[in-house]
């Protein structure tokens, strides 16, 4: 039986400990819960044999079936309508216009980083391009995670800066276990892999005193880690004092928007972005 008690508790705790982000956390709560439920309901059987080569799959190769992508998109639409009541009308319009076949086509375009089919579809059906983009992007992320979750663990390579499963960029760093292991979470498929503690996940620079930690005095376990060498930063959560499974840790960054703002004020760039 799928049980999301821990995820629900974490979302409530986060909103309580970060009142300034509570509105954002509440808006994304239905989506986070729907994602967990969909990944459980549509799980692929886990492959046990290691596959050849990394990344193990690429965006463009992802199988996108009409029926499943349609069902996933409709659950995403429901979650977006619940989380963003102010956009309910726009969400309803997207729901009416999207047929399973068009979801599949738009997901394929999004996977191939081709914005045109989405723009045309929004225009033709008088939809809000932002709402359509969000629904398709979230559907694609769930499809990516579904495939990635079926893959066996990648062999440890301490210097691996991109996702071994899909080739995506890391969006969050998590310090866990007594030994202070560090794992990076993928923006696209949501899986994580071990990475060396002292190196920059953007440029790989591993010199003493190169990384700087930035945090608010009362929350040292939530920080941004910036690199003097390349000027990029990544958000990092230290979950060693929390009762939190590593898989659930990515949700913690919903409460860390203040660190993004602080870093960008200092002219530092999120990973993967160039000036």
Under a CB-based contact definition with an 8 Å cutoff, are residues 55 and 166 in contact?
yes
Structure tokens at 112: 């191939």
Residues 215-244 that bind Zn ion (CB under 5 A): 227, 229-230
Which of 15, 172, 175, 200 binds Zn ion (CB under 5 A)? It is: 200
Structure tokens at 111: 């996977």
Q: Which stretch binds Zn ion (CB under 5 A): 37-45, 130-138, 167-175, 239-247?
A: 167-175
Closer residue to Zn ion, CB minimum distance, 121 or 193? 193
Closer residue to Zn ion, CB minimum distance, 71 or 230? 230
Binding residue count for Zn ion, defined by CB under 5 A = 14
How far is residue 58's CA from residue 204's CA, in Å, rounded to a whole number? 23
Core vs surface per residue 82-93: b (16+ CB within 10 A) or e: bbbeebeebbeb
201 part of the interface to Zn ion, by CB under 5 A: no
271 part of the interface to Zn ion, by CB under 5 A: no
How far is residue 274's CA from residue 145's CA, in Å, rounded to a whole number? 26
Which of 6, 24, 203, 262 binds Zn ion (CB under 5 A)? It is: 203
81 part of the interface to Zn ion, by CB under 5 A: no
Of 181, 147, 180, 175, the C-alpha closest to 163 is 147
Chain contacts with Zn ion (rule: CB under 5 A):
163, 165-166, 168, 186, 188-189, 200, 202-203, 205, 227, 229-230
């Amino acid at each position: 039986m799928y049980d999301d008690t821990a995820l629900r508790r974490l979302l409530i705790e986060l909103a309580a400990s970060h009142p300034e982000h509570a509105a954002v956390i509440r808006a994304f709560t239905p989506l986070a819960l729907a994602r967990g439920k969909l990944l459980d309901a549509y799980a692929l059987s886990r492959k046990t044999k290691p596959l050849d080569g990394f990344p193990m799959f690429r965006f463009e190769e992802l199988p996108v079936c009409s029926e499943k992508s349609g069902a996933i998109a409709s659950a995403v639409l429901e979650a977006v309508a619940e989380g963003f009541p102010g956009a309910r009308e726009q969400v309803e319009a997207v729901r009416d216009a999207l047929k399973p076949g068009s979801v599949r086509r738009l997901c394929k375009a999004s996977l191939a980083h081709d914005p045109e089919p989405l723009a045309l579809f929004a225009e033709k059906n008088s939809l809000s391009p932002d709402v359509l983009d969000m629904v398709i992007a979230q559907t694609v992320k769930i499809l990516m995670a579904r495939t990635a979750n079926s893959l066996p663990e990648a062999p440890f390579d301490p210097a691996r800066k991109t996702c071994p499963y899909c080739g995506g960029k890391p969006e969050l760093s998590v310090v866990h276990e007594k030994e202070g292991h560090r794992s990076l979470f993928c923006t696209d498929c949501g899986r994580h892999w071990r990475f060396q503690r002292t190196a920059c996940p953007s440029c790989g620079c591993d010199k003493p005193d190169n990384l700087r930690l930035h945090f608010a005095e009362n929350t040292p376990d939530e920080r941004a880690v910036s690199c003097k060498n390349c000027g990029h930063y990544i958000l990092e959560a230290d979950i060693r004092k929390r009762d939190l499974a590593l898989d659930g840790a990515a949700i913690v960054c919903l409460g860390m928007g203040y660190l993004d703002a602080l870093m960008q004020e200092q002219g530092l760039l999120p990973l993967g972005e160039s000036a």
